[in-house]
């Protein structure tokens, strides 16, 4: 069987997203524990301004998520026929979109009843579920070879950074 291969632009954007999402999720967990507390608290305390740290991860994540989303909807749209891939993208959009609408002073001021905050909390749960289903789906469909293909650094001819623009352009023509 041929070894699965993922386009380099997908690997770059997906890789950056897959690194930042767990960071955002974990720092968000600490924020909920330290500044909200309605759902319980972590059994340890961590020094630092976690609202600020979580916000910084969010600032790094949103432009990458935007580019990844644009890639997935154009050159990567065939992969979105997999429901678990599409769900991961929807969860990412909801988490990043609601995070952009958050005001970091709400939690500092103890204002926990904003609708946007509730949506952001829901997105935090949804992304954990969606990414778990997504990874399970990848392992079920292609096992470790498919999962590993996303972390491979191998490049095929015609899939160098100089080809990225062409790859996106071709996906528009293919969609007509
Ligand atoms: C952490 C957050 C993650 C998000 C938001 C995410 C999202 C996505 C999305 C939206 C796609 C489709 C891309 C396209 O349409 O071109 C995709 C593909 C893929 N992802 Fe992830 N992913 C994440 C983590 C992971 C992890 C940890 C793995 C490792 C197992 C993984 C492995 C893959 C693979 C192998 C594909 C290609 C699958 C296919 O051809 O159907 N992803 N991912």
Domain ranges of the chain: 8-164
Range 17-50 burial, b when 16+ CB lie within 10 A, else e: bbebbebbbebbbbbbbbbeeeeeeeeeeeeeeb
How far is residue 106 from each of residues 36, 98, 111, 117, measured CA to CA in Å?
A: 10, 14, 5, 9
Residue 118 has a pLDDT of: 98
Residues of the chain scoring pLDDT < 50: none
Residue 78 has a pLDDT of: 96
Residue 104 has a pLDDT of: 87
CA of 134 to the centre of ligand 1 (A): 7
Residue 175 has a pLDDT of: 64
Is the shortest distance between the CB of 86 and ligand 1 below 6 Å? no
Which backbone phi and psi does 4 adopt, to 5 degrees? -60, 145
Residue 174 has a pLDDT of: 76
Residue 176 has a pLDDT of: 57
Residue 37 has a pLDDT of: 94
Is the shortest distance between the CB of 89 and ligand 1 below 6 Å? yes
């Amino acid at each position: 069987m041929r070894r699965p291969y993922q386009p380099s632009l997908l690997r770059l954007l997906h890789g950056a997203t897959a690194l930042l999402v767990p960071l955002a999720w974990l720092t968000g967990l600490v924020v909920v524990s330290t500044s909200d507390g309605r759902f319980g608290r972590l059994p340890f305390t961590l020094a630092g301004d976690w609202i600020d740290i979580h916000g910084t991860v969010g600032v790094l994540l949103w432009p990458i998520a935007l580019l990844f989303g644009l890639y997935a909807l154009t050159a990567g749209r065939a992969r979105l026929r997999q429901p678990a891939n599409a769900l991961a993208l929807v969860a990412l959009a909801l988490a990043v979109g609601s995070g952009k609408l958050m005001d970091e002073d709400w939690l500092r001021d103890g204002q926990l009843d904003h609708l946007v905050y509730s949506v952001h909390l829901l997105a935090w749960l949804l992304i954990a579920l969606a990414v778990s289903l997504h990874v399970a789906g990848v392992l079920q469909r292609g096992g470790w070879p498919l999962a590993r293909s996303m972390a491979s650094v191998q490049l095929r001819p015609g899939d160098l950074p100089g080809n990225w623009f062409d790859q996106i352009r071709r996906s528009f023509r293919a969609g007509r």
